[in-house]
Structure 1
Amino acid sequence: MNIDNIKQPFIQNFPGDFSNNPVQRNTPKVLFSTTLPVGFENPSLLIFNENLSEEIGLGKYESQDLDFLVGNNLPENIHPYATAYAGHQFGNWAGQLGDGRAILAGEITNEAGLKTEIQWKGAGATPYSRHADGRAVLRSSVREYLMSEAMYHLEIPTTRALSLCFTGENVVRDMMYNGNPQEEKGAVIIRTAESFLRFGHFELISAQKEYNTLQNLTDFTIQNYFPEIQSEGDQKYKDFFERVCQRTAELMVEWYRVGFVHGVMNTDNMSILGLTIDYGPYSMMDEYDLNFTPNTTDLPGRRYAFGKQGQISQWNLWQLANALYPLIKDEKFLEEKLNDYGNYFWQSHDKMLCGKFGFNELLDGDEEFFTNWQGLMQEFQLDYTLFFNRMENMTSEGDLKSTFENISYSLLNDDSFKKLEDFIKRYQGRLSKNTISHLEAIELMRKNNPKFTLRNYLLFECIEEIENGKTEMLHKLIKALENPYQEIYPEFSKKRPSKYNDVSGCSMLSCSS
């Protein structure tokens, strides 16, 4: 790999601590601290993303590159650092946070001018580790590697994964926070993004009243990541906030399209670029449930449940608005844009559902149709992905029993099938109002409804195999997630087996990693 061109433009532009001291501490008035990866004596490579490496300008992997992938023996041009940010966690102000397990190597630019930040996750403690060890376990690292790549191939904005390595050491974690810590295999993942800037970076500086730095950071962000903004003065910051709102709404709608539940939408886990970031206790939707949260830490309130993600994203944007107010200085404007957010989100959401159902435009009555559909999905616990796959072939009422009984997580009776039959008749009536052909409607559905989603039980089985020295399922999952709109492996296109209903890591997870 070509790592000689990695630069540190962020630390060249902002105040920081260059002490290379990983000890937990407050770092007021700085945005980063230089810190070195801890280093590992016996690392080994599990998987390397050749396509991504070529795309971002690093080139092909060679055996000597293993050192870089785990943060060992770094060349002189790389000065690793961790950034400081703040955030609201589960609705409460948490003060200074920061990259507790993430260390930035810097930024690389490919031949086309594409800039990409490169970051180790699990390479040791930083000043922002909050008394933790900064390591990561294999379990969470496999989940992040595979899911971030799955989201990319689903065409959803996301961070990506470059490599996954064993560290050669064990890490102690209490997976369910129930007083039963256990040793697990340690791992380091390298993840990439155009930028890892979060809402929390802006919140921290604003809370510290470092308004000059806040302005510098916002200018830096606009110049580097929002080239469409050409305005000046206060209007520039207004346009910036409006664009962040749009990107955030569009991301939420994409999550709903594929049934993704993030699980921990704290403001420090929100990308300023509208990327999916920080894959912790996430889940793809199995049975449709607006109240589903995959995060045990989110119980009993279910703040970050599937059906609340749009609402929570708006709440998080309120916090960003408060942080940016010293630059925008227009309370009425901010309130207007935040109120508009809900309208924009729901318009985009309903347009997305039209695509999933094969409707070429939103008509009067569609909102009621969607509400009725949601009620049926929840009542009969129908599998979200499989439901739409079945609907692609639903040219008439057909045999409802064979169509739906194998995608329900509950027992369907005659009354259930009668309700489903009525729904299908209504659906066929709505399809007849399209101004496109039936074949075009089917094609529209196929573009919007994946055949494969990376379910938690599949990840659970894959992780078990890797821990036992096997990688066959890992490579099958990678091939499947790279082709999510095709059915590469039919055995993956089935509902979650009942034996996994109450298994930790399949139905619910904690934030432990």
Structure 2
Amino acid sequence: MKSLSEWSFTEPNLLVQFPIDPIKENYIRRVPGCVFSHATPTPLKTQLQLVSASHDVLENILDLNPIEEANPVFAKFIAGNQLLPGSVTIAHRYGGYQFGYWADQLGDGRAITLGEYVNSKGNRWELQLKGAGKTPYSRNGDGRAVLRSSIREYLCSEAMHALGIPTSRAAAIVVSKDMVVRDQFYNGRMKYEPTAVVLRLAPTWFRIGSLEILTREKEIKNLKQVVDFTIEHHMPTIPQGNYLKFLETVLEQSAALVSLWMAHGFTHGVLNTDNMSLLSITIDYGPFGFLDSYNPSFVPNHSDDEGRYSYLNQPKIFKWNMARLADALQPLLSAEEQKEAAATIGRFDEIYQQQFISIFRRKLGLSKAAKDEDKLVQLLLDMMQQRRADFTQTFRQLGAIHLDNIELGEEHWALHSITTHPSFSEFISLYQKIVQETGISDEERCRVMNGVNPRYVLHNWMAEAAIRQAEKDDFHLTHLLSKVLSKPYDKDDEAESLGFSNPPPDWACSLRVSCSS
């Protein structure tokens, strides 16, 4: 473990590997012919306060001793007020389709990359501040992020990692008394909110939109360089120059990612191509939401009037975005490879379905494939939808009962909602039959289920409770959620006392989230 005084970024950095905007002044503009622009964090003016830090990220990714969070330099580093040795600050240029329409140049409007770090395990990470001030890509924004959105990103990044879902990570979050004006729901009701900054990490922040802007602007040399870099550093089994295999790999990994989202009831909320990582990790946490009751039409984003990015639509949108990736790769593909690329996109549904059923098989404790497993999963989901059963707790509680002798207590509140469904007896009979045919004991079934079905996920009402408390300078609930969600399968007494595995409180029904941050 290192101290802050010993720690430094790794060289060479992205600045020397890619074309950089020759204009060094940090003002908003149209930027052609490059991959990155110079951008310097804008220091926060008022006193900084550390909200929370992930010891797992500090120790196991950054090789930093967690006691360094008490070092005054630590908060300054997280805020962007003080740079550490080797830092080269840049903002990334990209474009993207937003809600199905080409949005042209977008880019890092409030995120600034500080540099790269190769840790003691040999893993390469790019460190980025979200909310660090204006960049050339800020458009009409101020480059800042507010406390509510920063807490949500910090908590969910780490919660997703603990669930085994590929994701960017979050090292820490700081808040200041600097205030910015936000219209949270775009209804003209402006209000002042405290600014915060999150230090987040990813092996790379390249996304589909990173390639789209280069293809649109016919910057083929830059396009090739970004894809070659991604293959070399993150997909070393792919031969350099095999761009069709690159597409196939991203598609397969993306199918695996969205199947994990679906299995945990996670809805991203803004699946624009600029929010889709080339490494198929979850990035850019905004108006996300985990399902409470099982409602396939769930839309967490207040701004998504047509439900384009609903829970149920996510696999379809992933496939649509993969087609946009294939479009962006066209200049690097031969005519024959372009035809093969179209066929690759056509296989997405099959690949996704295989991933989906594999994960849901384990959610039901089946360690082997079974003849009627598809029917079993569909029976359960149909009952859950019609009775609005809680998504997370239904699976969790199924792993806490004996199929041969079902006795439900108060603690099985989620199961009570489906036991009176006309199909429940058919479901249990089929479940018992499959378990018997596959030779799985009831103990083994429960063990498998409890290892894949969490007791706790970050419901929006939990995040909102932490935010309301944090806006009063009380970060206890943020710390507690960080601790509980780092071990989502283990029962926690304080979490239980706060109802984290109980039905949502009545006020949760009125919650809304938006892209505003």
Please indicate, yes or no, whether the TM-score normalized by the shorter chain is above 0.5: yes
Match for 1:118 among 112, 116, 127? 127
Match of 1:495 among 494, 500, 503: 503
Structure 2 residue identity aligned to 1:74: L
Q: 1:422 to 1:498 in 2, by over 3 A?
A: farther
**Residue-by-residue CA offset, 1:273-331 (whole Å, 9 max, x unaligned):** 011000000011111111111001111x2111111111110110000000011112222
Query: Cα distance, 1:397 vs. partner?
Result: 6.9
Change (3 A) 1:304 1:400: farther
CA distance in 1 between counterparts of 2:267 and 2:51 reads 27
Q: In the alignment, does 2:298 pair up with 1:292?
A: yes
Q: Which residue among 308, 312, 315 is the counterpart of 2:313?
A: 308
Q: 1:232 to 1:191 in 2, by over 3 A?
A: closer
Q: CA deviation at 1:342?
A: 1.2
Aligned to 1:47: 52
2:391 aligned to 381, 384, 389, which one? 384
Task: Give structure 1 stretches of 5+ with no counterpart.
Answer: none
User: Aligned match of 2:467 in 454, 459, 463?
Assistant: 463
Amino acid at match of 2:317: I
SS of equivalent to 1:170: strand
Structure 1 residue aligned with 2:168:
159
SS in 2 for 1:336: helix
Q: Distance in 1 between matches of 2:352 and 2:184?
A: 35
Q: Aligned-pair distance for 1:16?
A: 1.4
- Provide the C-alpha distance between the structure 1 equivalents of 2:412 and 2:58, rounded to a whole number of angstroms: 44
C-alpha separation between the residues in 2 aligned to 1:274 and 1:170? 35
How far is the alpha carbon of 1:76 from its aligned partner? 6.4
- The answer as to 2:174 corresponding to 1:169 is no
Equivalent positions of 1:369-448 (< 5 A) are 369-396=376-403, 402=409, 406-407=413-414, 416-448=420-452
How far the C-alpha of 1:399 sits from its partner, in A, is 6.1
Relative to structure 1, the CA distance from residue 405 to residue 223 in structure 2 (aligned partners, 3 Å threshold; closer, same or farther) is closer
Does the aligned pair in 2 maintain the 1:397–1:421 contact within 8 Å?
no
C-alpha spacing 1:361/1:76, structure 2 compared with 1 (3 Å) = closer
Residue deviations 1:485-505 (CA, integer Å, cap 9, x gap): 111132311121122211x3x
Q: 1:400 to 1:287 in 2, by over 3 A?
A: farther
Structure 1: which amino acid aligns with 2:109?
G
User: Do the aligned residues in 2 keep the contact of 1:115 with 1:194 (CA within 8 Å)?
Assistant: yes
Deviation at 1:125, TM superposition (A): 0.9
Q: Hey, what's the Cα distance between the residues in 1 that align with 2:87 and 2:218?
A: 31
For the residue of structure 1 that corresponds to 2:194, the secondary structure is strand
Per the alignment, residue 339 of structure 1 pairs with: 346
TM-score, normalised with respect to structure 2: 0.93
Kept after mapping to 1: 8 A contact 2:397/2:412: no
On the 8 A contact 2:52/2:479 being kept in 1, the answer is no
Counterpart Cα distance in 2 of 1:469 and 1:325:
51
1:336 shift after superposition: 1.5
Of residues 90-99 and 65-74 in structure 1, the stretch that sits farther from structure 2 once superposed is: 65-74
- Per the TM alignment, residue 398 of structure 1 is displaced from its structure 2 partner at its CA by 5.5
1:364 aligns with 371
Q: Would you say 1:135 and 2:144 are equivalent positions? A: yes
Q: What one-letter code is carried by the residue in structure 2 that aligns with 1:384?
A: F
> Which residue number in structure 2 is paired with residue 279 of structure 1?
285
Amino acid at match of 1:186: T
Answer whether contact 1:400 1:417 (CA < 8 A) is retained: no
Work out the CA distance in 1 between the residues paired with 2:10 and 2:333: 34
> Which residue does the alignment assign to 1:96?
105
- Give distance in 2, aligned partners of 1:405 and 1:53: 38
Most deviating of 488-497 and 198-207: 488-497
SS of the residue 1:147 aligns to: helix
- Distance in 1, matches of 2:79 and 2:373, equals 51
Deviation, 1:64, is 2.0
Q: How big is the shift at 1:418?
A: 3.9
Structure 1 position 254, deviation (Å): 1.1
Contact 1:87 1:203 in 2 (8 A): yes
CA contact (8 A) 2:301 2:513 kept: yes
2:262 counterpart SS class: helix
RMSD: 2.0
1 CA distance for matches of 2:406 and 2:117?
A: 55
- Give distance in 2, aligned partners of 1:472 and 1:134: 28
Task: Judge conservation of contact 2:364–2:395 (CA < 8 Å) in 1.
Answer: yes
2:477 to 455, 461, 473: 473
Q: 1:122 to 1:480 in 2, by over 3 A?
A: same
Task: Describe the SS at the equivalent of 2:347.
Answer: helix
- Deviation for aligned residue 1:4: 2.6
Q: Which residues of structure 2 form unaligned runs of 5+?
A: none
Tell me which residue corresponds to 1:252: 258
Residue 348 (structure 1) aligns with: 355
Aligned-pair CA distance for 1:465: 1.1
Cα distance in structure 1, aligned partners of 2:244 and 2:343: 11
Contact 2:86 2:115 in 1 (8 A): no
Larger displacement relative to structure 2 (161-170 or 467-476): 467-476
Q: Secondary structure at the match of 2:314?
A: helix
Which residue is equivalent to 2:201?
A: 192
Whichever residue aligns with residue 298 of structure 2, its letter is F
Aligned mates of 1:3, 1:165 — CA distance in 2: 20
1:29 maps onto 2:30 in alignment:
no
In 2: Cα distance, 1:208 partner to 1:368 partner: 48
Partner Cα separation in structure 1 for residue 142 and residue 12 of structure 2: 25
State the percentage of identical aligned residues.
34
- Asked if structure 2 preserves the Cα contact closer than 8 Å seen for 1:84 and 1:201, the reply is yes
Q: TM-score, normalised by structure 1?
A: 0.93
Instruction: Tell me which amino acid in the other structure corresponds to 1:206.
Output: T
8 Å CA contact 1:8, 1:106 repeated in 2: no
**1:265 maps onto 2:265 in alignment:** no
Map Cα deviations across residues 441-487 of structure 1 (whole Å, 9 max, x no partner). 21111121111111110111111111122222222211111111111
CA 1:280–1:232: 2 relative to 1, 3 Å: closer
Shift of 1:20: 3.5
Number of paired residues? Answer: 502
* Structure 1 residue 419, shift from structure 2 partner: 3.4
Distance 1:404 1:52, change over 3 A: closer
- Quick check: 418-427 or 113-122, which moved more? 418-427
Aligned partner of residue 171 in structure 1, secondary structure: strand
Matched, 1:82 2:91: yes
Paired amino acid for 1:140: S
Matched residue type, 2:339: K
1: CA distance, partners of 2:358 / 2:489: 20
Residue 200 to residue 288, structure 1, CA distance change in 2 (3 Å): same
For residues 110-149 of structure 1, what are the alpha-carbon distances to aligned partners after superposition, in whole Å with 9 as ceiling and x for unaligned?
A: 1222111100000101111111001000000000000000
